[in-house]
Copies of this chain bind each other. A is one copy, B any other.
Amino acid sequence: MQHYFLSEPLGIGQTVSLPKDIAHRVSRVRRSKIDDELELVDQNHHVFLAKIVSLENKSVEVEIFAEQTRQVELQQEVTLLVGMPKKEKAEWIIQKGTELGATTFIFFNSRYAVAKLKADRLAKKLDRLNTIAKQAAEQSRRSIVPEVKVLDKLSDLELSEFDHTVVAYEEAAKQSEKSNLVKVFEQVQTSQKLLGVFGPEGGLAEEEVTTLVDQGATIAALGPRILRVETAPLYFLSTLSYQTELNH
């Protein structure tokens, strides 16, 4: 089902004229017809079911007839902090991470990062990544659009903003550390803020890990296999879902 984000409050029974860009996508790109149903998310992250009642050249009107109350968001606000990977991998992490429930993506200039964030191209790159997050949120029918940000240095981040921080560290996998991830996930409460930190292709530098641990982060292995930069965040989100959404 088509799924769009509007920047206004909505309610059952309301008739809404869709913004131009969305109207274009509904009528021209998806070729919808009168009576077709779609989902609209309002500014308060409520999801409504609407039916097309009029459809002209550039304008589409829908009538809201129900609210979708199924909980589709993770119970925690999850931020993924990832050493800047190559372009396609960053886009993949956003797409799949959005599908799996992440709230925020922060890419940072890790010491061993292959791709560096260049100031002159940053604004454009960030725009593109945020567009990808929005498209992914529409496609996976989220009730929020995750935000994508960048961070110049790891030390610019206030870890105290988060209730739990987990650092996925390759060395932990090699040393067969087994249960730290489970320990953190078992402690996590509803509505808490969770940060997952992942190295770029080259891995995290030891001093980067130390900086995080000194601020209270937990080092954890994501199983005994060494996962690539674009796979580790998906393992993290999947297993958080398993622990908090399925296992109770």
Binding site for B on A (CB under 8 A): 70-72, 96, 99-101, 140-142, 174, 176, 178-179, 181-182, 221-228, 231, 234-235, 238-239, 241-243, 245-248
Contact of A141 among B101, B181, B226, B247 (CB under 8 A): B226
14 contacts between A and B (CB under 8 A): A70-B224, A99-B227, A100-B223, A100-B225, A140-B225, A140-B226, A140-B228, A178-B245, A179-B248, A222-B241, A223-B245, A238-B239, A239-B239, A242-B242
B179 pairs with A70, CB closer than 8 A: no
Question: Within 8 Å CB of A241, what residues of B?
Answer: 222-223, 225, 235, 239
B224 pairs with A245, CB closer than 8 A: yes
Copies in the complex: 2
Alpha-carbon distance between A142 and B247 when the two chains are bound, in angstroms: 29
The smallest C-beta distance from A89 to any residue of chain B, in angstroms, reads: 12
B224 pairs with A99, CB closer than 8 A: no
A71 pairs with B242, CB closer than 8 A: no
A-B contact sample (7 more), CB < 8 A, given A140-B227, A178-B248: A96-B234, A100-B225, A101-B225, A181-B246, A223-B246, A224-B245, A238-B239
